Amino acid sequence: MPMVKKVLVANRGEIALRIIRACRELGIQSVAVHSDVDAHALHVRFADEAICIGPADPTHSYLKIPSIIAAAEVTGADAIHPGYGFLAENAEFAEICEQCGLNFIGPKPRHMRDWGSKVEARELAESLGLPLMKGSGVLDTIDDALAAAEKVGYPVMLKASAGGGGRGMKVLRSADELRRAFPQAKREAEMSFKNGDLYCERYVEKPRHIEFQVLCDGRENVWVLGERECSIQRRHQKLIEEAPSAVISTEKRQAMVALIRKAMLETGYVSAGTLEFLLDEKGDLYFMEMNTRIQVEHPVTELVMGVDIVAEQLRIAAGEAVHIPDCALEPRGHALECRINAECPDTDVPWPGLITAYHPPGGAGVRIDEGIYAGWRVPKVYDSLLLKLITYGKDRPEAVNRMRRALGELVIEGIRTNAALHRRIMLDPDFIAAELSTRFMENLRAELKASGERLHVP
C-alpha cells in the first residue's frame, strides 16, 4: 500500500475537522471539500486546501461521487477519508476510489457489502458464531411476513435490510398491525434506500444498546477496544453515549472481545468498524448490525482506551501495522458524550440560523469536537449536529459531574439547541443510577409532558 501524503476529507462539520486535525498531527496534508453554503465552515478554514464541489443539496455535492473524485485529482490527493454518513459506507464509492488510484481510508468494498445488508449481515454473523436475535430472512410477501412473525413471536421489529441511522424500523404487536404495516414499510424502504427488502426480528421491550469498537490492520492484528453504551436515543438515533457500559462485567467484556476478534480475523476485515448488539433484560447480547466506518461516538472509546482511532485509520491506510499495548484491552476511567444539536429541546424540531455567540466549556476532563463558531450560519439542509461535548473522569460519577458542569458553561446564542435537554438528563435519577434502556427518552418525554415542564422558555 502506498504512503499517504495528502488526504481529501469527503465530509463536512465536526467529523471533517476531526480528520483534518489527525492528518496535521501525522504530517499529512489535508483537502476540504465543501458545498457553496459551507464555504466559511471551520473544516474549510483549517484544511491545507479547500475546493467547492457543488450547491447545498448534498445529492449535488457531498453525495456526488464524480465531483469528489475530480476534486481529489485536481488537488493531487492520494487518499480519501469519508468520515461518517454521506458516502462512508458506499461500496461503489470505495471501488471507484481504488480504480482511480486513490487510497480509500476505510474497509474494503467487499466488507462494506458483506455487512451493508442487514439480512446478509445476520447470516454472516451467525456463520461467525456471533449471538443472534431470533429473526427471519428477506420477506417477499405479506404471507411470508406473517409466517415469520408467528415463528419469531410477537412483538416483532420489522426492519429495512438496507436501513440505517434508525430509519426503516417498525414495532408490530399483532398480525393485524403487520398486515397494515408491511406494504407501507416496503414502499418507504424502496423510496429511502432504493431497496425494498424487509426482514423481522424478535422485539425486546427494554433493551440496552451496546456496541464494540474494532480496529484491524489487515496483518492479523485485530483490536477490540471495549464497548460503548448508546441506550439513550430518540427515534432510534443516539443522543448520549458512554464508555464503558455500567452493566458489562470484565468477564463478559473479555468473552465478547475474544468472540469478535475471532470473527474479524476470519473475515479479514481492515480499518475501523463497530459491531452493535442489543442487551436484553436477562443480560444476553444479540448482534444487530455492523457499521463499516468511524462512528460519531468514537471519542469516548479514545478517552478510556488511550487510542487515537482516526490516526490509526490513517496509519493502516499507509500500510503500517497497528501497535496498541495490551493494557488498552481494558477501559481506564469513564467517558460520556452528549450530541449538541441545533433543535428545539422540547420538540426535537431542527433550528438552523445564525450563531450570534458561542462559548465552549473547558477545564479538566472536557473535550469538544465541534464544527461551529460565532457568526456562522447553521444550514438547514444538513444534519443538525453542532458539536460533541465529551467528558472524562476516573469513574462514571466524576464523568457525569463534569458533564453537568460543562453543559452549564456551554453558551450558544442565536439559535435553539438541545443543551437544556442534556442538562435535564444529567439530573434524572434513572440516568444517575445507570438504569438505562432504549425506552429512556420515551419515558422522559412522557414525564415532562405530564408535569408541564418546559426545557425551552420562549
pLDDT (mean) for 250-266: 96
272: three-class secondary structure by DSSP:
strand
Strands 237-243 and 222-234: antiparallel
| Per-residue pLDDT at 118 exceeds 90 | no
| Per-residue pLDDT at 166 exceeds 70 | no
Rounded Cα–Cα distance for residues 63 and 52 (Å): 13
> Which residue from 65, 68, 104 is spatially nearest to 313, judged by alpha carbons?
104
| Per-residue pLDDT at 458 exceeds 70 | no
Q: Give the model confidence (pLDDT) of 315-352 as tens digits.
A: 999 999 888 876 667 899 999 999 999 999 999 999 99
The grid coordinates of residue 83 equal 468520515
29: three-class secondary structure by DSSP:
strand
Rounded Cα–Cα distance for residues 428 and 335 (Å): 18
Question: Which residues are 423's β-sheet partners?
Answer: none
pLDDT (mean) for 139-145: 94
Cα-trace Rg, the chain: 22
The secondary structure element, H or E, covering residue 208 is strand 208-217
Q: Give the model confidence (pLDDT) of 47-80 as tens digits.
A: 999 999 999 999 999 999 999 999 999 999 999 9
Whether the bond into 155 is cis, omega within 30 of 0: yes
Q: Give the model confidence (pLDDT) of 382-393 as tens digits.
A: 999 999 999 999
Which residue matches cell numbers 496483518?
Answer: 219
CA distances from 126 to 108, 118, 311 (A): 21, 12, 32
Helix, strand and coil in the chain, % to nearest 5? 35, 25, 35
Task: Kindly state the DSSP code that residue 148 receives in the 8-state scheme.
Answer: H
The whole-chain average pLDDT of the chain stands at: 95
Q: Is 293 in the active site?
A: yes
Domains of the chain (ranges plus CATH)?
A: 6-105 (3.40.50.20), 134-202 (3.30.1490.20), 208-451 (3.30.470.20)
Q: Give the model confidence (pLDDT) of 196-212 as tens digits.
A: 999 999 999 999 999 99
| Per-residue pLDDT at 217 exceeds 50 | yes
User: What predicted TM-score, i.e. pTM, was given to this entire model?
Assistant: 0.93
| Per-residue pLDDT at 144 exceeds 90 | yes
Percent pLDDT > 90 in the chain is: 91
Q: Which of 253, 293, 367, 416 is catalytic?
A: 293
269: three-class secondary structure by DSSP:
coil
Are 362 and 11 contacting, i.e. CB atoms less than 8 angstroms apart? no
Q: What pLDDT was estimated at residue 236?
A: 84
**3-state per-residue secondary structure call for 295-364:** CCCHHHHHHHHCCCHHHHHHHHHCCCCCCCCHHHHCCCCEEEEEEEECECCCCCCECCEECCEEECCCCC
Q: Give the model confidence (pLDDT) of 84-102 as tens digits.
A: 999 999 999 999 999 999 9
Rounded Cα–Cα distance for residues 318 and 4 (Å): 5
Secondary structure (DSSP) of 103-121: EESSS-HHHHHHHHSHHHH
Q: What pLDDT was estimated at residue 432?
A: 98
pLDDT band at 165 (very low <50, low <70, confident <90, very high): low
Q: What pLDDT was estimated at residue 85?
A: 95
266: three-class secondary structure by DSSP:
helix
pLDDT band at 1 (very low <50, low <70, confident <90, very high): very low
pLDDT (mean) for 115-139: 93
